[in-house]
Amino acid sequence: MALCSEEGCDRDSVARGYCYKHYRQRQRHGTLPGYDKQCKVDGCDKTSYQGGYCNKHYLRVKRYGDENFVKRRIFNGTPEEVFLHYTDKKTETGCWLYRGTINSNGYGRLRVGRKNIYAHVFSYQRTNGVIPKGMVVRHKCRNRNCVNPEHLEIGTIRDNNQDKWRDGTVLRGEQVGSSKLTESAVRDILSSSFSADHFAAKYNVKVRNIYCVRARVTWKHVEV
């Protein structure tokens, strides 16, 4: 097998001519071959990282649903006052964007008593009352950061999971930050007769991870 293209690295290449370590580094910083396009946001001259955005604007879109999002200053008050202060209703889509605290998955959060709750859940409850037991609040607009009660509805956890698969928001494969394997490595594992121990050592994973790949328990979306 060919070696990594990174100067001074003697590891085997696993994707685009690089070992796993340097492939992930270049993917993260947008320096992989073919990643030389400019961010599609006007006025930004950084290299595109994912979805046509540089890393900064990609994270803004993922977390806030807006490439030009600017977080407002900290505001103290009652939950109702905080919610209204951080809610931006002036959007072209009709979505009300929450400009307060946003978690890593793109959902707004605010403090109610001693608990942190999702901003869209707070919005639904202040308009429609208590959420029935076993039900969750779903987004009809497919915008996680939206808190417009007209864009919200309740459903089961199963309904919510189906929404995630429909919208393609379920992280899988290389999209999972802790993943050590790549799609190229998975194809190598599936198409080879070498032992699981061989691939576990090669890709620095546990033997059971190789067994799960070959049994199609994990990485089922990768075709050989």
Contact between residue 137 and residue 107 where contact means Cβ atoms under 8 Å apart: no
Could you tell me the CA-to-CA distances from 147 to 36, 95, 101, 137 in Å, in that order?
Answer: 36, 7, 13, 11
Residue 36, pLDDT above cutoff 60: no
Positions of CATH 3.90.75.20 in the chain: 79-167
| Residue 33: predicted pLDDT | 61
Whether the pLDDT of residue 146 is over 90: the answer is yes
Of the chain, the percentage scoring pLDDT greater than 90 comes to: 30
Per the model's pLDDT, the better-predicted residue between 33 and 119 turns out to be: 119
- pLDDT at res. 210: 93
Q: How far apart are CA 76 and CA 174, in angstroms?
A: 39
The arrangement of secondary structure in 79-167, i.e. its CATH architecture, is Alpha-Beta Complex (3.90)
**Which phi and psi (to 5°) does residue 169 adopt?**
-95, 5
Average pLDDT over residues 167-188: 79
d(CA 7, CA 13): 12
Q: Quick count: other Cβ atoms within 10 Å of Cβ 141?
A: 16
Q: What is the mean pLDDT of residues 194-205?
A: 89
Percent of the chain having pLDDT more than 70?
Answer: 87
**What is the CA angle 170-46-66, rounded to 5?**
45
Mean pLDDT of 179-205: 89
How far is residue 132's CA from residue 130's CA, in Å, rounded to a whole number? 6
For the chain, the distance separating the N- and C-terminal CA atoms, rounded to the nearest angstrom, is 18
pTM attached to this predicted model: 0.53
